[in-house]
Amino acid sequence: MARKPLIAANWKMHKTVSEAVATVRELLDRLGGQAPADRTVLICPPFTAIAAVRDVLEGTGILWGAQNMYPRAEGAFTGEISPRMLTDLGCTHVIVGHSERRHIFGEGNQLINEKVRAAFEFDLVPILAVGEKLEHRRAGLQEAVVEEQLVKGLRGVTAEQARQLVIAYEPVWAIGTGETARPEDAQAMHAFIRRWLAGQYGEEVAQAVVIQYGGSVKPNNVDELMAQPDIDGALVGGASLKADSFARIVQFQ
C-alpha cells in the first residue's frame, strides 16, 4: 500500500506570533501557495502561534498541529492545553512523547500512553516519538529500548486506531546535534518498528502506518533518507525554522 509521505515541522520553543506568520507566508510562497498533492505537510508551532498560523494556512492544504498536550478534556491542570482546545483550533496532529518531553520534563511511558489514547479519543492523529540514547545504541540495545516505548506507549490502542497512527523514530543522539543516523541504520530501525506493528496489529495495519525519521534532517540529507523503503516522512526541528530550508525538505526528490 502506498503511504503518503508526511513532512512535519517541529518548531519547539521558537517564534513569536509575527515570526511564525512570516515563516508560513514565505513557506507558502516557496511552495506555490499550496501543499504538494503527493505529500502531507504539517506545521507544529508553539501553542501561542497556532491560531495565527491557522489563519495563514487555512485552505492551502498544509496542516497544523501541536507539539504536546495534556490528556484530559478540561479541568484543574494549571498551565496545560487540552486535546479539545487543539481540535477547536483545527489541529489535526499532536506530537506525543518527544525526547525533550521524556528527558527534560520527565514524561514516562504511562503518561505518554494516556496522551496517545486521548489523541485518538479526540480525533487527533498522535505522532508518537520513540528513540534510543547513544549509550543504548553503543550497547546494542536500540531495538529493545524502542520496543519498550512502543509496547508501553501503545497499550490499549486498537488495530483500527493504530492504522491512523504516525510514529517518529528519533534517535536521541541525532536530535539537534547535526549528526544524522546513517540512512541504512534508520531504515533498519524503521523496518524493525514495522515488523513490531505487524506482530501486534497485523500486516495490513503495519503497512498503513507512516513512520517518520527525525534527528538533524536537512536539505542535504533528506533525499537519501526518504529513498529508504520504510522511511515515510521526516519530523524536522532546526531546519524547519527557516522557510527556504523547510521548503527544500518538503520538496525532497
Active site members: 98, 170
* Shortest reach from residue 26's CB to ligand PGA, in Å: 19
| Spatial separation of the C-alpha atoms in residues 115 and 129, rounded to whole Å | 12
Is residue 170 a contact point for ligand PGA (CB under 6 A)? yes
* Shortest reach from residue 47's CB to ligand PGA, in Å: 17
- Containing 95, the helix (H) or strand (E) segment is strand 93-96
Is residue 238 a contact point for ligand PGA (CB under 6 A)? yes
User: Which residue lies nearer to ligand PGA by CB, 205 or 236?
Assistant: 236
Considering only residues 42, 217, 225, 243, which one is a binding residue for ligand PGA as defined by CB under 6 A? Answer: 217
Considering only residues 91, 209, 226, 235, which one is a binding residue for ligand PGA as defined by CB under 6 A? Answer: 235
Residue 36 is placed in which grid cell? 504538494
Residue 106 is placed in which grid cell? 520527565
* Shortest reach from residue 203's CB to ligand PGA, in Å: 28
CB-based contact 210:164 (threshold 8 Å): no
Q: What are phi and psi of 127, to 5 degrees?
A: -100, 100
Considering only residues 23, 82, 187, 216, which one is a binding residue for ligand PGA as defined by CB under 6 A? Answer: 216
* Shortest reach from residue 100's CB to ligand PGA, in Å: 7
Site residues for ligand PGA, 10-69, by CB under 6 A, read 10
Secondary structure E strands in 101-231: 125-130, 166-169, 210-214
Is residue 131 a contact point for ligand PGA (CB under 6 A)? no
* CB contact set of 21 (below 8 Å; sequence gap of 6+): 49, 52, 53, 55, 56
Considering only residues 176, 199, 220, 244, which one is a binding residue for ligand PGA as defined by CB under 6 A? Answer: 176
* Shortest reach from residue 21's CB to ligand PGA, in Å: 22
Residue 111 is placed in which grid cell? 503518561
CB-based contact 224:181 (threshold 8 Å): no
Buried b (16+ CB within 10 A) or exposed e, 71-87: beeeeeeeeebbbebbb
How many of the other CB atoms lie within 10 Å of CB of 129? 27
User: Which residue lies nearer to ligand PGA by CB, 171 or 205?
Assistant: 171
46 CA to centre of own chain: 14
Residue nearest to ligand PGA (CB): 237
Is residue 211 a contact point for ligand PGA (CB under 6 A)? no
Is residue 214 a contact point for ligand PGA (CB under 6 A)? yes
Instruction: Note the residues at the interface with ligand PGA (CB under 6 A).
Output: 10, 170, 175-176, 214-217, 235-239
